[in-house]
Amino acid sequence: MGDLGRTPEARALAAVLAGLKRRSGLSYEELGRRVFTSSSTLHRYCNGNSVPGDYGVVLRIAKECGAGPDELNELLRYWESATGRRDEEHASGPTGVGARPVAVTPTAVTPTALKSTAVTPTAVKSAAVKSAATGSAPLVRLRLALAAVTALVLLGTLVASAPRNRGAEIPPVPVGAASWAQAPLPVDPALFGVTMNSFSGAMPSFRVGALRLWDSETRWAQMEPVRGEFDWSVLDRLLDGAERDGLPTLFTFGGAPAWAAPDARKAAYPEGARAAPPDDLADWDTFVRALVRHAGDRIDAYELWVTANHPHHYNGSVETLVDMTRRANRVIQRWDPDATVVCPPITDLWKEEAHRYLLRFAELGGYQHCDAAGVKLFQRKVTDPPETMLEAVQKVERTFQQAGYHLPLWSTGTVQTIQLNDPLDADAAADHAVRFFLTGLYARNRNLERMYFYAWGNGKIPVVIQAEGQRPTKAGIHVGRLQQWLTGSRIRSCGHGGQIALPENVWQCEFLVPDERGTLVPARIRWTHAGTADVPVGAGARTVHRLDGTTREVGTGDTELVTERPVLIRYR
């Protein structure tokens, strides 16, 4: 579009783009690499000698430079004036950018539909403008579709041809798997947490990001076996090990001593711990105070009971648990104000009674005393795809919206009956463990911040990552390599199936990852929740990395067989 490049409208567009580029501090080469265009082309856009023929290019440049919604709207107006296309032609504008994209059904946006003139970003936007005066239900649906299409633009360039599934039947799509995009944000290493089922002080020999203490001989009954007499020896060993490895630690309260609740139900532990609050909450205050003062800043966060709504761990009233939460938070804030306070987690989130419990805890003001909300995310069956957890995350988000709270979510464990399940074979366990954390990253748009895998050190559960005293399993090695891939990275989008022009069983998250020189380059992690699919690697693809440590070089026209074992694709 060189002829347009000399018009006043084109020069106005160029001035805004050049200003954003200067503000970002990025070179033409680096910015061009991030938006999949050459530095010379980008230079022409910024000096007014050329106008992008697709608004999607303008949008990617602006988002990489940190443009806000008002600036995106301004750019759309300039681009429409410079091209004379307005709503009738080409890509969508920034309507909906900055809001959470809404999921579109696979039949509404498919690879074929995206390549046709029947469903395009412009067609959706144009129809929405024409319906604006009516306030009708079709307008609402069109606005939701526009938001989703905007997310597709941000998710990267579409594949050149429709990918192919292997197998006659496409697996069902897990519920709650909405695609989303955002300005790149750092991937917090602490998301990759494990629960310690060990009391020796030994630490994982593969890379992990955070520790949670439970089933680690650190229950209340074990550390205060007699009222007023404390034994910190096991806790100190664990905290010393975490400190050596530089790992943030979450301490989990639970297991009241028999002397504190002699008539209460016994928990399933040999020391006689009780699945109940103490009879006198002054004993609770004393223990919390003694623990926080002893640990100091060696404990980074406190989970105020192991599980709120499971009788094996707590069978007291909601009112008492809220009171315990309030009192513990008051003590922690006095003695360690920098610590994160996590409200007692809710489990069995597939069941409506769990959400009623959450609402009751909220109604009584429990969440006012916490920095994060604890939840237990797991599949209905251990053999279900980890991605099915997204349905539970979606339900939790809706319940919190109903309750009027918007706290970060920390997933701190699994179901009580996990050990009743048969072990998975080594390959299935490895794929499960890696995708457990990827599902956590996928749920970032629903405010999920931490995932603690259950467990490290335990060799008697269906998915073993490392039994204490033994080498890491394939699952542990692969989890460590996933974290190695994402060290220093920034996440910018996640999507699934037809929402991002991929086969229905394919999932993808996009990142900026450091290359050999430390420069951030685009990358994608792809996997399936079942089956396989041949998928083009996309423009600018350079290498495909596998969890077994192998790598192959690829080019723009190549395809990759995507399976249940995630792969990382790096781009130029």
pLDDT in tens, 313-367: 999 999 999 999 999 999 999 999 999 999 999 999 999 999 999 999 999 999 9
User: pLDDT above 70 covers what percent of the chain?
Assistant: 82
Angstrom distance (rounded) from CA 524 to CA 547: 14
- pLDDT band of 44, cuts 50, 70, 90: confident
What does the angle CA 141 – CA 143 – CA 144 come to, to the nearest 5 degrees? 65
At CA 212, angle to CA 361 and CA 299, rounded to 5? 90
Residue 461 tokens, joined = 């559960």
Residues 6+ apart with CB under 8 A from 564: 431, 435, 527, 528, 529, 530, 531, 532
Which residue from 404, 311, 318 is spatially nearest to 361, judged by alpha carbons?
Answer: 318
Between these two residues, 44 and 550, which has the higher pLDDT value? 550
How many helices (H) and strands (E) the chain has is answered by 16, 18
Q: Is the pLDDT of residue 199 over 60?
A: yes
Average pLDDT over residues 425-453: 97
Environment class of 168 (CB within 10 Å of its CB; exposed 0-12, middle 13-18, buried 19+): exposed
Residues 6+ apart with CB under 8 A from 356: none
pTM: 0.74
The C-alpha atoms of residue 412 and residue 455 are separated, in whole angstroms, by 10
Q: What is the mean pLDDT of the chain?
A: 85
Least confident of 18-22, 214-218, 514-518: 18-22
State residue 141's pLDDT score: 44
- Residue 64 is predicted with a pLDDT of 83
pLDDT of residue 85: 63
pLDDT of residue 99: 30
pLDDT for residue 403? 97
Q: Judge contact between 277 and 257, C-beta under 8 A.
A: no
Q: Are 364 and 325 contacting, i.e. CB atoms less than 8 angstroms apart?
A: no
Q: Mean pLDDT over residues 507-521, rounded?
A: 96
Question: Does 162 score more than 90 pLDDT?
Answer: no
Q: Closest Cα partner for 446 from 482, 481, 395, 378?
A: 395
For residue 388, pLDDT beyond 60 = yes
Give all strands of the β-sheet with 532-536 in edge-to-edge order. Answer: 164-166, 532-536, 559-562
More confident residue, 363 or 421: 363
CB under 8 Å, gap of 24 or more: what pairs does 275-284 form?
275/311, 275/312, 275/313, 275/314, 275/315, 276/314, 276/315, 276/316, 277/314, 277/316, 277/320, 277/321, 277/324, 281/320, 281/323, 281/324, 281/327, 283/227, 284/260, 284/324, 284/327, 284/328
User: Cβ neighbours of residue 197 under 8 Å, at least 6 residues apart?
Assistant: 214, 215, 216, 455, 456, 457, 458, 468
Q: Please give the DSSP secondary-structure letter assigned to residue 325.
A: H
Q: Would you say residue 532 has pLDDT above 60?
A: yes
Give dist(CA 405, CA 398) in Å, integer: 10
- ω into residue 455 within 30 of 0, thus cis? yes
pLDDT at 179: 94
CA distances 527 to 279, 422, 494, 555, Å, are: 51, 24, 12, 19
- 291 vs 16: which has the higher pLDDT: 291
User: Which range is most confident: 80-84, 154-158, 171-175, 482-486?
Assistant: 482-486
The CA distance from 410 to 186, in Å, is 17
For 506, the 3-state DSSP assignment is: strand
Provide the greatest CA pair distance for the chain.
86
Tell me which of 140 and 57 has the higher pLDDT: 57
Q: Six-digit token pair at 437? A: 């954390």
CA distances from 425 to 150, 195, 197, 429, 565 (A): 41, 21, 21, 6, 14
pLDDT digits (tens, 9 = 90+) for 85-115: 653 333 333 222 233 333 323 333 333 332 3
CA neighbor of 397 nearest in space, from 444, 454, 439, 364: 444
Residue with tokens 């939460």: 325
DSSP-derived pairing of the beta strands 340-346 and 372-375: parallel
Query: Which range has the worst mean pLDDT, 74-88, 175-189, 306-320?
Result: 74-88
Stretch 254-262: mean pLDDT, rounded?
Answer: 98
Residue 421 has a pLDDT of 83
pLDDT at 451: 98
Which one is predicted more confidently, 75 or 550? 550
Q: What is the pLDDT of residue 420?
A: 75
Please determine, for residue 495, whether its predicted confidence score (pLDDT) is greater than 90. yes
* Structure confidence at residue 92 (pLDDT): 33
Residue 483 in this model has a pLDDT that exceeds 90: yes
Percent of the chain with pLDDT over 90: 66
Q: Would you say residue 431 has pLDDT above 70?
A: yes
The pLDDT, as a whole number, for residue 142 is 38
pLDDT tens per residue across span 465-479:
999 999 999 999 999
pLDDT at 133: 35
**DSSP H/E element including 28:** helix 28-34
Q: What pLDDT is recorded for position 163?
A: 59
- Quote helix, strand, coil % in the chain, to nearest 5: 40, 20, 40
Q: Taking the CB of residue 552, how many other CB atoms lie within 10 A of it?
A: 11
Task: Count other C-beta atoms under 10 Å from residue 140's C-beta.
Answer: 12
**Long-range Cβ pairs for the range 15-23 (8 Å, 24+):** 15/48, 16/71, 16/74, 16/75, 16/78, 17/45, 17/46, 17/58, 17/61, 17/62, 17/75, 18/46, 18/47, 20/61, 20/62, 20/65, 20/66, 20/67, 20/71, 21/46, 21/61, 21/65, 23/65, 23/66
**What size, in residues, is the chain?**
572
